Structure 1
Amino acid sequence: MTWLITGGAGYIGAHVVRAMTGAGEQVVALDDLSAGVPGRLPAGVPLVRGSSLDGDLLKRVLAEHRVTGVLHLAARKQVGESVAQPTRYYRENVGGLVTLLDAVAEAGVRRLVFSSSAAVYGDPRVDLITEDTPCAPVNPYGETKLAGEWLVRAAGQAHGISTVCLRYFNVAGAAAPELADTGVFNIVPMVFDRLTRDEAPRIFGDDYPTPDGTCVRDYIHVADLAEAHLAAARLLSEGGVNGDLTLNIGRGEGVSVRELVTAIGKVTGDTRPPVVEPRRPGDAPRAVASAARARELLGWGAGRSVHEMVESAWRGWQLHHATATGQ
């Protein structure tokens, strides 16, 4: 089999490429390089520069590389940006998926893994979010991911494509420093950025109905997430999915923002207390996955700790910001 990985040079995509090739799978990466970095890809992995909005390119790639399965990760993914630019998010995330599914159906590809998000749930007031928790996204990004799931399932039913939708929770860490997240949009690099500029970390709101007043989240190591993609691809290859499957991908353990900032302080050696600022609109008090279904059906479980996430991310941050950190 050959797997097409869209967004394959991105932070998560490159980890998926490495997990797949490390397990002996043949892959080809498609990336427009708006956030991807070609150097993240292992030697010998073909990289096609382009967008999932380009139907002719997709058809050519599927045919030339004899693609038999697709892992679709390419998407815009910043919540705040989606609020400011909703039409862009619908055009790229949903429109790109429509174009991809048309090409996949025409090419006779019968296996697809879709990168979804816990953002589809919105603000559920439950201790553990299961795949059966009602979906009520609260921003355009989450809406595009939920619409993407609907499209994937409908196209799968119409064209005989077996599909798996993976709902990611909060991703952090790096399997190797060169694969680290270079953006400053998620909490771990955001704290690193503050410390590098000799500023205290920020916490947005400490009056939530949680044990220490800060939001509680489920953080998963990106290498564990990549292994979940490999497990999903293998399940599809073995014919283990009859129709469609939707799975949460998380650790099933809650960590508060204050606890995470404390963990970052221990790793970096900068233990200055965080500055508390007002709540951000749309932040749910608690969002923690039930990962039982993924364990049962994929035989997969997240094995890396929060300390490993922070420590590996810090090594990557130091590599990519050597001047700022004085390395």
Structure 2
Amino acid sequence: MRVLVTGANGYLGRPVIDALEAAGHDPIAMVRTATSSIHAPTRVADLLDEVKLREALDGVEAVCHLAGLTRARESTVDPLRYFRANTAGTIALLDAMAATGVPRIVFASTGSIYGSPERQPMTEDMPDAPPHPYAASKLAAEFAIHAQAQAGNLSAVVLRLLNVAGGADPDPTRLIPRALAAARQRSALEINGDGSTVRDYLHIVDAAAAFVACVENMPPLGKATRYNVGSGQGTSILVVVVAAVERVTGHRIHLVHRPPVPEPAALIGNPSKAIAELRWYPAHSHIDGIVRDTRHNLKTSNSIGAI
């Protein structure tokens, strides 16, 4: 299948292209600016450029829609930018897909839409409670996708991803790259509160495989479905993540505890529905493997040097 991958130059985009290609599909990378480092046919377009977007969709059979903004804290400062990119950009894509006759979409959404539910792990039937503009902008995009499907114009899958990690993580503000940098530099790692918060870390290879599984198991036209995609395992900052980095690197990490901030005590996704219906499994999402892979890829890209 010929699959257009929006946001192809991003952290998740490249692994999705690799996974589609390995599964025998024909991925096409859509990027905002020309790049020669993606090993797939590339089309340059912006989601808000109607003409270029329709050109990018020419001959395409499905879309993996990854393009968007993802920083939750930044979204609280500049919320309209997030709604413009994540919501308006998705609506523009849906318009262009309808105009060019592309009937299938797999959308990268976020598990943060559930907010801070007491019941863990989180299942797809839980109510939505987006805690910040980033999550709200993704939820609004989901509403547009579901409405377009219900109108009979679309076959759609929404993937609510948990904390994607591993690979060549380009964001030095995320916990695992920060912990690896602290181990390398013998510097302090600052964490909020006592480090007991629990998160669900999903290896980027497993995340990419989920998109392939969706492309190969799309619902019928007029239907939209949603899956939580995570490891299903809770991983605490202090007991598990920091300990894993110390095991992998062989270096102790000095922790500095900052005042606690308001945040959910635990966010864990239940991937049972995706496992059952997509024949997908988070096979690589054990924390030591994620840390080891992040370390290897960041060393290879010379982002953090040797550890």
- State the partner residue of 2:117: 124
Does 2:265 align with 1:248?
A: no
- Tell me the distance in 1 between the aligned counterparts of 2:283 and 2:72: 28
| Counterpart amino acid of residue 227 in structure 1 | A
Q: CA deviation at 1:92?
A: 0.8
- State the partner residue of 1:112: 105
Of 202, 205, 208, 1:220 maps to: 202
| Counterpart amino acid of residue 210 in structure 2 | A
- State the partner residue of 1:158: 151
**What does 1:298-313 correspond to in 2, within 5 Å?**
298-304=278-284, 305-313=286-294
Does 2:138 align with 1:145?
A: yes
CA RMSD after TM alignment: 1.8
**What does 1:153-302 correspond to in 2, within 5 Å?**
153-174=146-167, 180-206=168-194, 214-236=196-218, 243-258=223-238, 259-281=240-262, 283-302=263-282
Distance of aligned partners of 1:288 and 1:241 in 2 relative to their CA distance in 1, 3 Å threshold: farther
- Tell me the distance in 2 between the aligned counterparts of 1:221 and 1:150: 27
Q: CA deviation at 1:69?
A: 0.5
- Tell me the distance in 2 between the aligned counterparts of 1:278 and 1:241: 50
- State the partner residue of 2:50: 55
Q: CA deviation at 1:49?
A: 2.7
- Tell me the distance in 1 between the aligned counterparts of 2:150 and 2:160: 20
Aligned-pair identity (%): 33
Partner of 1:201, secondary structure, is: strand
Structure 2, unaligned runs of 5 or more: none
Contact 1:191/1:202, CA 8 A, preserved across alignment:
no
Partner of 1:115, secondary structure, is: strand
Partner of 2:254, secondary structure, is: coil
- Tell me the distance in 2 between the aligned counterparts of 1:227 and 1:310: 19
- Tell me the distance in 2 between the aligned counterparts of 1:16 and 1:318: 22
- State the partner residue of 1:210: none
- Tell me the distance in 1 between the aligned counterparts of 2:35 and 2:228: 27
Contact 1:235/1:241, CA 8 A, preserved across alignment:
no
The number of residues matched between the two structures is: 305
| Counterpart amino acid of residue 79 in structure 1 | A
User: What CA deviation, in whole Å up to 9, does each residue of 1:198-232 have, x standing for no partner?
Assistant: 312222111xxxxxx61001111000111110000
| Counterpart amino acid of residue 5 in structure 1 | V
- State the partner residue of 1:209: none
User: What CA deviation, in whole Å up to 9, does each residue of 1:224-245 have, x standing for no partner?
Assistant: 1111100000002xx5676011
- Tell me the distance in 2 between the aligned counterparts of 1:272 and 1:62: 48
Does 2:296 align with 1:315?
A: yes
Q: CA deviation at 1:326?
A: 5.3
- Tell me the distance in 2 between the aligned counterparts of 1:37 and 1:193: 28
- Tell me the distance in 2 between the aligned counterparts of 1:32 and 1:286: 36
Instruction: Give the structure-2-normalised TM-score.
Output: 0.94
Q: CA deviation at 1:190?
A: 2.2
Structure 1, unaligned runs of 5 or more: 175-179, 207-212
- Tell me the distance in 1 between the aligned counterparts of 2:32 and 2:73: 22
**What does 1:61-76 correspond to in 2, within 5 Å?**
61-63=56-58, 66-76=59-69
Does 2:14 align with 1:19?
A: no
- State the partner residue of 1:9: 9
User: What CA deviation, in whole Å up to 9, does each residue of 1:53-84 have, x standing for no partner?
Assistant: 21111111112xx0010110001001111111
User: What CA deviation, in whole Å up to 9, does each residue of 1:149-185 have, x standing for no partner?
Assistant: 11111112224211000000011112xxxxx122213
- Tell me the distance in 1 between the aligned counterparts of 2:182 and 2:91: 39
- Tell me the distance in 2 between the aligned counterparts of 1:188 and 1:229: 24
Partner of 1:11, secondary structure, is: coil
- Tell me the distance in 2 between the aligned counterparts of 1:191 and 1:254: 18
- Tell me the distance in 2 between the aligned counterparts of 1:290 and 1:251: 8
Instruction: Give the structure-1-normalised TM-score.
Output: 0.89
Q: CA deviation at 1:321?
A: 2.9
